[in-house]
Structure 1
């Protein structure tokens, strides 16, 4: 079974109260949407909600689920300057066994169906030599830096068909799954050979800026009218 690590600190700077402000008419916002979807996933045994925000705690407790465990994260690990590496090192201190799925409330279209597919892909990957999983966006288009093209040779063909270009992958931070043992061994939320799970459509959508929040509300309403 899978234990979820769901970080949800106070003090969002780009979108104030991003995690808990009403979203598309849903009170409790992104946090409520995420918790309700995760609670539907049969392969998830418990959700460790790591937070320093009393509003987050109140909302989580209002759902009255024994599968939601509150981790009151130390303030030293809950600021905008906190290193992700330091938070990763903290995870095996609060989840001490099994498989750990790190995800975020800011991906409202990663629903229970997609989470189930991701977990099943992780478990299948373990049988086929992978040791972890992370979600990615496939990039198969023209990539340049200031010196020119990166993923194709313009001396051979100036504008090749995009489907012939090599596949590259952007880590979208929707989901990371790794074992407790690997967290301790590598001090990382992936191992040495992660399965790359390509999320599609709205599942890749992440809310970072106010423009993302507003667009996300529009999409959510259109999908749930």
Structure 2
């Protein structure tokens, strides 16, 4: 089974300026270089399709001289702040024609080659068993979650404040890994199928850089992990 990593990396991030390429924890090339190295180190990944309209992203990628990396110069109309994920999903079959697609992001710096390998192994296993058709990474929420009308994930008529360990978890999609065959992109126009396996990450692996403060928190986590 061919596994192609799809790494979207457009120019012009608004919430975190230059988040893909600015120095991260002293690493020149930043999150992009970290992520490319993680994907390169994963033997289960056959190619890395770096989809971008950013010349700096291309320069950093080419500096690695890695044959697994394939640059896709994404059309500008699919690389704006208003581009929907649905539109980008519809674009993927134009650049990946066969096999499975592992969609990931540079903003998940703690999903490394070991986690990618583990996810791919589980994906292959569930396909052979026939219970699921795809996989996506999530973080379990075992906290008191309410909407405007009350508790969502526990019954206050039974117990007003249960131990959080006993609460049936809800799952937050952490956007770190989506794994599905290219046929699902073509037939369902989605990056997961109708029955995805929820691949559970811990809080650190699930950390996603979405805001400026997230960037600095991620640097602190990374530096602490290096010390340990």
Where on the TM-score scale, by shorter chain, does this alignment land: which range?
Answer: over 0.9
Q: Displacement of 1:118 after TM fit?
A: 0.9
Following the alignment from structure 1 to structure 2, what is the Cα–Cα distance between the partners of residues 181 and 56?
Answer: 29
Q: Which residue of 1 aligns with 2:208?
A: 206
Does residue 178 of the first structure (1) align with residue 189 of the second (2)?
no
Following the alignment from structure 1 to structure 2, what is the Cα–Cα distance between the partners of residues 222 and 148?
Answer: 38
Q: Displacement of 1:200 after TM fit?
A: 1.2
Does residue 137 of the first structure (1) align with residue 139 of the second (2)?
yes
Q: Which residue of 2 aligns with 1:219?
A: 221
Does residue 38 of the first structure (1) align with residue 39 of the second (2)?
yes
Following the alignment from structure 2 to structure 1, what is the Cα–Cα distance between the partners of residues 121 and 21?
Answer: 30
Following the alignment from structure 2 to structure 1, what is the Cα–Cα distance between the partners of residues 50 and 106?
Answer: 10
Following the alignment from structure 2 to structure 1, what is the Cα–Cα distance between the partners of residues 216 and 165?
Answer: 33
Q: Which residue of 2 aligns with 1:52?
A: 53
Q: 8 Å contact 2:139–2:203 — kept in the other structure?
A: no
Q: What does 1:1-225 correspond to in 2, within 5 Å?
A: 1-128=2-129, 129-225=131-227
Q: 8 Å contact 2:31–2:109 — kept in the other structure?
A: yes
Q: Displacement of 1:165 after TM fit?
A: 2.0
| Residue segments in structure 1 that go unaligned for 5+ positions in a row | none
Using the size of structure 1 for normalisation, the TM-score is 0.97
Partner secondary structure for residue 138 of structure 2: strand
Count the aligned residue pairs: 225
How large is the Cα RMSD of the aligned pairs?
1.0
Q: Displacement of 1:167 after TM fit?
A: 2.1
